[in-house]
Amino acid sequence: MPGKRSGLVFAYRLSVKGRRWGGTRSPLEKEGKEMEREYGRPFDEDILIQQIGMRNVGAISGGRVGVYKPEGECVEVELPVSAGYLVRITLAWDDTYTVERVLRRRAKGKSYKESKVLGRVDGVYCDQVGEVAYYASCYKNVKFGQEVSA
């Protein structure tokens, strides 16, 4: 169920195999173990949305924002584009963002969706994250990740 947020942005809950969305905790986290470093560090998703810009969020995903909260703190934001493509943004440990273009499709005969990273840009500063995320969303005519660098 979508919950209303400020402006055009709506948070919605997704479920992907091996992940829990919406702030629920995994068994490892209940045992007191630290969060895995593969996601980056926690950040405030509202600040990221302001840095991207409301018009860019509207152009990228129509105002839809998926927030991944394994311990109750946001560690990943996904902006669904179209046709299974999405833009995934994480905050690295050196205070720069990592922007990825991801293709998520349901495999034949499987009940879960598989993700494939098609492009990745590391070291994106907060004033560049809106432009880089917009280029990541242009999956039909813009190459992303190989020639593009922040």
Look at the pTM and tell me if it is higher than 0.85.
no
- Asked whether the beta carbons of 79 and 104 are under 8 A apart, the reply is no
- 145 falls within a domain: no
**What pLDDT digit, counting tens, does each position of 66-80 carry?**
988 877 788 899 999
| pLDDT tens profile 17-56 | 334 334 434 333 444 434 444 567 888 999 999 999 999 9
Q: Is residue 69 part of a domain?
A: yes
Contacts of 103 (CB under 8 A, 6+ apart): 84, 85, 115, 116, 118
State the residue range of the domain holding 101.
Answer: 3-137
pLDDT per position as a tens digit, 99-112: 999 998 877 777 66
How far apart CA 5 and CA 24 sit, in angstroms, is 20
| Domain tally, the chain | 1
Assess if residue 37 is contained within a domain.
yes
Is 55 part of a structural domain of the chain?
Answer: yes
Q: How many CB atoms lie within 10 A of CB 13?
A: 15
In a domain, 147, yes or no: no
Helix/strand/coil (H/E/C) assignment for every residue in 19-67: CCCCCCCCHHHHCCCCCCHHHCCCECHHHHHHHHCHHHHHHHHCCEEEE
Asked if the structure places residue 13 within a domain, the reply is: yes
Strand partners, 102: 86, 117
